[in-house]
Amino acid sequence: MTLLFKNMSKLYQHYNKVVKGQLADELKIKNAMAVPKILKVVINTGLGESLANKKVIETMRAQIASISGQKPIVTRAAADISTFKLRRGDPIGIKVTLRGKRMYDFIEKLVKIVLPRIRDFRGVQDRGFDKQGNFTLGFTEQIVFPEIEYSQIDKIRGLEISFVTTAKAKKESKRLLELMGMPFKKEGARH
């Protein structure tokens, strides 16, 4: 068994022992508290179809709970939109926020199990960064997660995973995520 799988839940220790020091050196940061870190991971999915089928919310809620290991909340419409027959307060999605040990366990599962399972995977695109150094990764299918049984789902649905960091720019955030194991696509690589 490789060292990676022996220490599956050791990502936090890896951050403290290796990543933090390496980032401080590379970014020339003298204050250890100023080194970028991941604050939280938010998993969410929009379910516009829930207006016609209320069962969709509970189905997807159970799937997100099994993926994240935490009970998600239902997001609701903030305003009326007559074009979509949407009323304020209608359920329109599911989200869960992971912090601490659950967050690190989820990140580790994502980079070591989920992403390598994707067919023809050649790396994560780095287009999902915002100006504050946060990164969002989208999945078109929830079935890439090993907790989801294909025979048990009613429909393929997508979801987003957002990494909220203390980084101040894309460069810092990308390097943090790389050192944490995120397999970004190499520069100049096709597809």
Predicted pLDDT at 187: 67
Predicted pLDDT at 2: 43
Predicted pLDDT at 48: 66
Strand order in the sheet with 91-98: 73-76, 91-98, 38-46, 159-165, 135-139
| Residue bearing the bigger pLDDT, 26 or 79 | 26
Q: What is the pLDDT of residues 94-112, one digit of tens each?
A: 999 999 889 999 999 999 8
Average pLDDT over residues 29-39: 91
Average pLDDT over residues 37-41: 95
Q: What is the CA radius of gyration of the chain?
A: 18
Predicted pLDDT at 156: 80
d(CA 180, CA 110): 11
What's the start-to-end Cα distance of the chain, in Å?
32
The full set of domains in the chain, from first to last, is 13-133+144-179 (3.30.1440.10)
Percent of the chain predicted with pLDDT > 90: 32
Mean pLDDT of the chain: 83
Predicted structure pTM score: 0.83
**Contact by Cβ (8 Å): 173, 134:** yes
Predicted pLDDT at 85: 67
**With 70 as the cut, is the pLDDT of residue 146 above it?**
yes
Q: What is the pLDDT of residues 164-181, one digit of tens each?
A: 999 988 999 999 999 999
